[in-house]
Structure 1
Amino acid sequence: MINVSEQHAPRSLIVTFYGAYGRSVSGPVPVSELIRLLAAVGVDAPSVRSSVSRLKRRGLLVPARTATGAAGYGLSPEARQLLEDGDRRVYATTPPGQDDGWVLAVFSVPESERQKRHVLRSRLAALGFGTAAPGVWIAPARLYEETRRSLRRLALDPYVDLFRGEHLGFAATAEAVARWWDLAAIAKEHEAFLDRHARVLHAWEAREDTPPDEAYGDYLRALDSWRHLPYADPGLPAALLPADWPGTRSAAVFRALHERLRDAGAVFAGVGR
């Protein structure tokens, strides 16, 4: 196992664990198991407990008793939906194809409810939308269904109109995309992922064995780093991106780590596939 210089927030690692393995558990995950499995990636027991409490308050984790009566936590329906939406991005096996058009989110929020304006902007940014103009946000058209579900879940849909269409000018679409998204900042995130995890992949490629405990730790850290990237980078068509876009390489590194480590890590997590 290679230690890489990266801080992983305990709360984020818990969400990552449930996304990778916790959903496969029959019933709630015992608190004792959460402590064991988070200790394997450097999180102490008090941090696990405090992070679980915060996730419970946010409505993502639900307390329940296991079949043996032990205290545990399962995912709320909302959390399961969020993870399922994320699966389509996080575990995508192929890069985005040709430009299939755009989804536009046009919103107007009364001044008396300006806090919702902030929430709406934050949600669209978190979904990977770029800013085409004030009050007009844009994303690849394939994100329409996820966007619709997310806005309805947050009761923001009364303030938004969604449209699908194509870009007709006047600037070239690649030039417009460079205005709508901060491509340099997104590229830096991909480069950071590569700096941390490409060396981990190279080390595993030089080995024939795959010990479950080491696989689990390296996989969970890689997934925790990776799962945010398909939202920062919404998967723009390659023709609209700069040459040698690092997202292509970072996606390949994550897929290779996933294929090599996920199942062995599941043995350590005690869930299998």
Structure 2
Amino acid sequence: MAETHVNDAVEIPTRLLVESMIREDATIDAGELYEVAAALGMSDQQVRLHIRRLVADGQITQEGRGRRALLRVGTQMFDSIAPNVEFIGFMYDQDRGAAPWDGAWRLVAFAVPETRRQARDAMRDGIVGLGGAAVQGGLYVSPNPWEPHIEALASRLDISGYLTRLTTTDLRVGELDCARSIAAHLWPLGKIAAGHEQLLAVARARLARLTGPEELSRSEILTMLVELAAEFTRASELDPLLPPELLPQPWPGTRARAELAACWAQLMQRRSMPDWPRMFYHYADVIEQVTAGTEGSGVTGG
């Protein structure tokens, strides 16, 4: 695998910043939002314009002006920020050897007519989102037990009748019949690894500060929370969660997730800090649960 060069700087989408600052009572302190935004290198104008768009879209309401404002978040936006508990649980199960690969490949094929193009495109995107890789036109594969998720996706799009599924332990792609070679051919492992290396660098740098002698301000702690959530999301979106048996070892995703869990363990020691963002509680509870040894369900994700 090619050497990757990473640093601990984090690029944060403005929307993710806003979502990360939502508190349990579905409000955002605008002054705190602007303070964290400045620490992340965002301008007041950038944040102000994004708030205006959210207000115009009806996703939030604003009481007051400028940094003294209180933002109230609508139900749809409030409910959308919870992490996928199944997905995170399966990640950590794989990392600690609690979800070994059974050696089977799950394949799904579909031939949806042109008149259902929108559903066809949504099916393809959903399969890729579940970690599938295209073997050839209309045929996708995953080593993970994704059948319930595939069936639910097809049912939601009303195209179950166009779907074919099969499971095999005898997969050959072109001249490749070695499982690791097939995985390296079908998934961009270098790009996926680079995302985890970036997460690892960010988590290590934040952990050093969290365990250091310096007393961190509330703004600094919230900034780290946003950075860790953003980098974890970015790395996870690329990751099909292939079984360790199919990956180069040592795999940076395992190290990155361990370092992330260590960061959250440190953050959890500061639970007494008032008005934590809702995202903190979600990630803290999920990571505490899965790293304590609670097995997740067999799912794939990305």
TM-score range, shorter chain: 0.7 to 0.9
Q: Percent identity?
A: 22
Pair 1:9-2:13 in alignment: yes
Q: Distance in 2 between matches of 1:224 and 1:46?
A: 21
- What per-residue deviation string (whole Å, max 9, x for no partner) do you get for residues 244-267 of structure 1? 111111111111112212563783
Name 2:111's counterpart in structure 1. Answer: 108
- What per-residue deviation string (whole Å, max 9, x for no partner) do you get for residues 58-108 of structure 1? 8xx734689xx965113418x73x545623334654335211445433222
Pair 1:127-2:130 in alignment: yes
Q: Distance in 2 between matches of 1:87 and 1:55?
A: 27
Q: Distance in 1 between matches of 2:152 and 2:31?
A: 34
Amino acid at match of 2:47: V
- 2:94 partner SS: coil
Pair 1:212-2:218 in alignment: yes
Q: CA deviation at 1:207?
A: 3.5
Q: Given the superposition, is the C-alpha separation of residues 167 and 13 from structure 1 closer, same or farther in structure 2, using an over 3 Å criterion?
A: farther
Q: Given the superposition, is the C-alpha separation of residues 224 and 265 from structure 1 closer, same or farther in structure 2, using an over 3 Å criterion?
A: farther
Pair 1:76-2:76 in alignment: yes
Q: Given the superposition, is the C-alpha separation of residues 62 and 126 from structure 1 closer, same or farther in structure 2, using an over 3 Å criterion?
A: same
Could you tell me the TM-score, scaled by structure 1's length?
A: 0.73
Alignment length (residue pairs): 258
Higher RCO (C-alpha under 8 Å, 6+ residues apart): 2
- 1:88 partner SS: helix
- 1:264 partner SS: coil
Q: CA deviation at 1:45?
A: 4.2
Name 1:95's counterpart in structure 2. Answer: 94
Considering only CA atoms, is the larger Rg found in Structure 1 or Structure 2? 2
Amino acid at match of 1:11: R
- 1:94 partner SS: helix
Q: Given the superposition, is the C-alpha separation of residues 119 and 14 from structure 1 closer, same or farther in structure 2, using an over 3 Å criterion?
A: farther
Q: CA deviation at 1:173?
A: 1.9
Matches within 5 A, 1:102-251: 102-114=105-117, 116-149=119-152, 156-158=157-159, 161=163, 163=165, 165-170=167-172, 171-207=177-213, 209=215, 211-251=217-257
Query: Is 1:213–1:268's contact at 8 Å kept on the other side of the alignment?
Result: no
Aligned Cα root-mean-square deviation (Å)? 3.8
Q: Given the superposition, is the C-alpha separation of residues 204 and 99 from structure 1 closer, same or farther in structure 2, using an over 3 Å criterion?
A: same
Could you tell me the TM-score, scaled by structure 2's length?
A: 0.67
Query: Is 1:28–1:64's contact at 8 Å kept on the other side of the alignment?
Result: no
Matches within 5 A, 1:8-87: 8-15=12-19, 17=20, 22=22, 25-29=24-28, 34-35=33-34, 38-39=37-38, 41-52=40-51, 62-63=59-60, 72-76=72-76, 80=79, 83-84=81-82, 86-87=84-85
Q: CA deviation at 1:188?
A: 1.4
Q: Given the superposition, is the C-alpha separation of residues 213 and 190 from structure 1 closer, same or farther in structure 2, using an over 3 Å criterion?
A: same
Q: Distance in 2 between matches of 1:40 and 1:74?
A: 26
Any stretches of 5+ residues in structure 2 without a counterpart? Answer: 1-6, 64-68, 282-302
Q: Given the superposition, is the C-alpha separation of residues 34 and 130 from structure 1 closer, same or farther in structure 2, using an over 3 Å criterion?
A: same
Query: Is 1:127–1:231's contact at 8 Å kept on the other side of the alignment?
Result: no
Q: CA deviation at 1:37?
A: 5.4
Q: Given the superposition, is the C-alpha separation of residues 85 and 214 from structure 1 closer, same or farther in structure 2, using an over 3 Å criterion?
A: closer
